[in-house]
Structure formats: structure tokens, C-alpha cells
Structure 1
Amino acid sequence: MAAQKKLHVKKGDRVKVISGKDKGTVGEIIAVDPSNDRVTVQGVNIVKRHLTDRQAGGRVEKGGIVSSEAPIHVSNVQPVVKKDGVEVVTRVGHKRETVTKTRADGTTYEGTRSVRIAKATGEEF
């Protein structure tokens, strides 16, 4: 079994679209698909689907034209952070920080964990 891919963004991040028809739009990531390198951003890449009326379990579901977000490639988005009250795009870095961990038997020890930092501000996000 192959290891899970890592992306530079995750669900809930605020991102800016840097290329494509929605270039410049800022939105929140609502879904991530690491196996296909795709993310779904709120309010970006809106597509319309034409649905017919259908029956499901004795009730009728109304059809019509439904608008929803479609996924875009992860390389087309960049994280956004606040710097001096202004939103700026940034790259993602990682930093190891020391933390105190507790074992199941109650003893504690020093360990490290990786945190994502914004290259523009140097702060964790």
C-alpha cells in the first residue's frame, strides 16, 4: 500500500487562486483529494449540473439546474495569512518544536512535533 500524499494546504485553510478563470479569488478549502492532487475551494470553479426529477425511497426529488464547486488542481492555490491587517499569499514551511508528552503509564518525556509555518510571517497557522 502506498503512503498518503502530503499537500501544502489542508481543509479549512484560506487560499488565493493564482491561475485559471477564477484567478485572484480568495476562499476556504472545503474538500481535499490528495490522491488526485485536487482541492475544492468555496466559491471557486462553479459548475452547473442539470438534474432530472427522480424517486428515492417513495419520495420525489426535484430536479433542475444545480450550481456547485468543482475541484481544481492544488498547484493553482496558495495559502493566505494576515500580515499587518492585510491578507498576503505565502509559502508553507515546517518547523520542529519541543513538547512534553505523556506515556500511558503516566511518565512524561520530551518529544518534538512538526508545525506548519507561514514563510511570509514566520508564524504558525
Structure 2
Amino acid sequence: MASNKRTLSIRKGDQVKVIAGADKGVEGKVIEVLAERERVIVEGVNRIKRHTRAGADGTQGGIITREAPIHVSNVMLVVDVDGDKTTTRVSHRRDDVTKNRPDGSSYEAQRSVRVSSKTGKEI
């Protein structure tokens, strides 16, 4: 059966800016990427409250505030250009590299790298 796995240009740890929705304009760090659902969890964005019940094992109940996932199309990657932060799209480039085997021999291969569409530099 063919796989419909899709890769996302946003990764865990990236600095992103929300470009649509209630939190538009807010910048934050990506905490988690949910690739199968095409969503990301961003620090300080889309905060929700959950009411939890006290457990029999002694856990305390109360209201917990945490981040909920937002769609990856609603965020844009933030890159640093000469000390100025700007948003950019992400493209990919294949670079030729030389890899070494454990026995000491080497071979030519290609490596995929993320590239800022605005600056052309590797992310």
C-alpha cells in the first residue's frame, strides 16, 4: 500500500510567527510537530484551559492552561537577516557531500538541506 506521508518544512525548535488566526503576529518556538495531522504546537500560542479532576492517587485538580496545536499553514518561519528578524518561505536544495564508511573508504552522496527562500542561505 502506498504511503501518503508528508514532510513539513517546520521542525521542532524553529522560531515561527503566526500569520493567521486569533494569535496573528505572535512569535514563538515550536514545541512539537504533529506531521500526520499537519499541525504544530507553538510556545505561548493558542492557549486553552482544561479543567481536571482530583485523582484518587492524590493528584491535585484544577484548571490547567496549555498550548493547543495550530495548522502548519498558519505559521511562517522566522530567520535572522543581518540582525533583523524576518519571515520566509522554506525551499530545499540537494548538496553533494563525501561520506566515510566505517572501513575508511569514502563515497559521494547527496544531502537535502532547508534553504530560506528570501535569503538563499541554509537554515
TM range (shorter): over 0.9
Aligned to 1:6: 7
Superposition pairs for residues 85-100 of structure 1, below 5 Å? 85-100=83-98
Aligned to 2:122: 124
Secondary structure of 1:54's aligned partner? coil
Distance 2:60 2:100 in 1: 54
Partner letter of residue 21 of structure 1?
A
Aligned to 1:66: 64
* Residues 104 and 4 of structure 1: CA distance in aligned 2, closer, same or farther (over 3 Å): farther
Aligned to 1:105: 103
State the identity %: 50
Partner letter of residue 110 of structure 1?
E
Query: Is 1:25 aligned with 2:26?
Result: yes
Deviation by residue 1:29-67 (Cα, 9 ceiling, x = unmatched): 0011111111000000000001111023xxx00010110
After TM superposition, give the deviation of residue 105 of structure 1 in Å. 2.8
Distance 2:9 2:109 in 1: 24
Distance 1:55 1:34 in 2: 35
Return the TM-score normalized by structure 1.
0.92
Distance 1:77 1:18 in 2: 5
Aligned to 2:75: 77
In structure 2, stretches of 5+ residues that fail to align are: none
Aligned to 1:50: 51
After TM superposition, give the deviation of residue 122 of structure 1 in Å. 1.2
After TM superposition, give the deviation of residue 3 of structure 1 in Å. 4.8
In structure 1, stretches of 5+ residues that fail to align are: none
Return the TM-score normalized by structure 2.
0.93
Moved over 3 A (4+): none
After TM superposition, give the deviation of residue 111 of structure 1 in Å. 1.5
